[in-house]
Amino acid sequence: MLTLTFMLALVSVAASIDMLNVCMDSKHHKVAPGPEGNLYQQCSPWKDNACCTADTSEHTHNDNSYLYNFNWSHCRVMTDACKKHFIQDTCFYECSPHLGPWIQTVVNPTWRRERFVDVPLCQEDCVTWWNDCKDDFTCKENWHKGWNWTSGHNECPAKAECRKFKEVFPTAQSMCEKIWSKSYKYTTYTKTSGKCIQMWFPQGQNPNRKVAEYYLNKAPSPGIPASLFSFSVVLLMLLI
Ligand SMILES: *[C@@H]1O[C@H](CO)[C@@H](O)[C@H](O)[C@H]1NC(C)=O
Ligand SMILES: *[C@@H]1O[C@H](CO)[C@@H](O)[C@H](O)[C@H]1NC(C)=O
């Protein structure tokens, strides 16, 4: 019995380590996180441990980059102040190794098998993003779907008129939650709380592993007990 408990403890430790340091199964992500010494500009905070390659990190900075052929300036040229948040958002998406608790399987996968959902973003990161973009223009609330892709990049669909961000998204919350169909969840937690995920942080000081750990311990994802359960069944059978 002691052996079983011990082995279960080991399995449990291994399972939680995975959840805290893992890359999504998506279009450009590495198979597993690791150091990337040459990450480019705004992606450089992840150099110590990243799910993105140097090549991906460079392309996140290009307009209409080959990564997704996505045109941020689909209405008017996006201001640099606004664009820096979308670059950071892309770096965060491609490079983050500590989003395990929020990774979900995509139900009808077209271009990726996994995504993240309801990542609790720190209030500062969401509010500064919205403030810097509120006078820029867009024609859509959900940037994940509904575009006209016939030209090879996203164009506004016929009936969607270009309006200011602050008209499409009246609040910072509506922008952060709707623009990537609930990838982010708005919170009133600040960066010092330890309870929210940061998109912006100094190089080599990724605070998000601790935050992921906090949420894992608070409300374990359904995946862990299930896998633990099957592990324990297998172990029991081996031991008997
Ligand atoms: C982005 O979209 C705008 C508006 O349709 C267009 O004028 C611009 O050329 C596009 N940018 C690229 C790089 O295709
Ligand atoms: C999609 O965009 C193309 C031009 O790139 C245009 O000819 C076509 O009418 C558009 N389709 C719709 C449904 O808006």
Could you tell me the pLDDT band of residue 80, with boundaries at 50, 70 and 90? very high
- 156-209 pLDDT per residue, tens: 999 899 999 999 999 999 999 999 999 999 999 999 999 999 999 898 899 999
From the CA of 148, how far away is ligand 2's center (Å)? 6
Of all atoms in ligand 1, which is nearest to the CA of residue 153? 14
Q: Identify the residue whose C-alpha is closest to ligand 2 atom 10.
A: 148
Contacts of 34 (CB under 8 A, 6+ apart): 49, 50
Closest ligand to residue 158's CA: 2
Find, among 197, 193, 219, 215, the residue nearest to 206 by Cα: 197
pLDDT of residue 234: 46
| Calpha distance 102→36 (Å, rounded) | 23
Distance CA 93, CA 100 (A): 12
Closest residue by CA, ligand 2 atom 4: 151
DSSP letter (8 states) at residue 113 = S
Query: Both tokens of residue 140?
Result: 């859509």
> Model-level pTM?
0.83
